[in-house]
Amino acid sequence: MTNLIEYAAASDEVRAVYDDIRTTRQTEYINNFWKALANHPPTLRRTWETLKEVMGGEGDIDPLTRELIYIAVSVTNGCEYCIASHTAAARAKGLTEKVRGELLAIVATANSTNRLANGYQVPIDEQFR
């Protein structure tokens, strides 16, 4: 239902983003996510710029930890594509099977305690405000 736009068929505006993805990531491969977003060039541009800055720019959180946070969100939302692509990205940045297990254990636990807090309608402690 969604046309994936290849480099050869892309407009100059789209190609400029594809070129920047290639340069930044040092790979020829453009993954399907970007080829889908290319159907609406302003969304492609904005999303890439934000992702490049947030996931790859200067910051106190190291690159692997950023991926762990990203995966935690994607697992909670059940976004299959995002889990698959960012688990691959995290592995390229050093994710071991053990750390993956620890990550998912934290995500599972938080999803569980979130509901206990909701279900028991726990009032926020004064000192946490």
Of 28-67, binders to a copy of itself (CB under 8 A) are: 29, 31-33, 36-37, 39-40, 42-43, 46-47, 50-51, 53-55, 59-61, 65-66
Q: Write out the DSSP string of the chain.
A: ------GGG--HHHHHHHHHHHHHHT-S---HHHHHHTTSHHHHHHHHHHHHHHHHSS-SS-HHHHHHHHHHHHHHHT-HHHHHHHHHHHHHTT--HHHHHHHHHHHHHHHHHHHHHHHTTPPPPGGG-
Q: Could you tell me the smallest distance in angstroms from the CB atom of residue 118 to a copy of itself?
A: 5
Q: Could you tell me the smallest distance in angstroms from the CB atom of residue 7 to a copy of itself?
A: 15
Positions in 67-106 near a copy of itself (CB under 8 A): 68-85, 87-88, 96-106
**Residue 22 in contact with a copy of itself, rule: CB under 8 A:** no
Q: Could you tell me the smallest distance in angstroms from the CB atom of residue 75 to a copy of itself?
A: 4
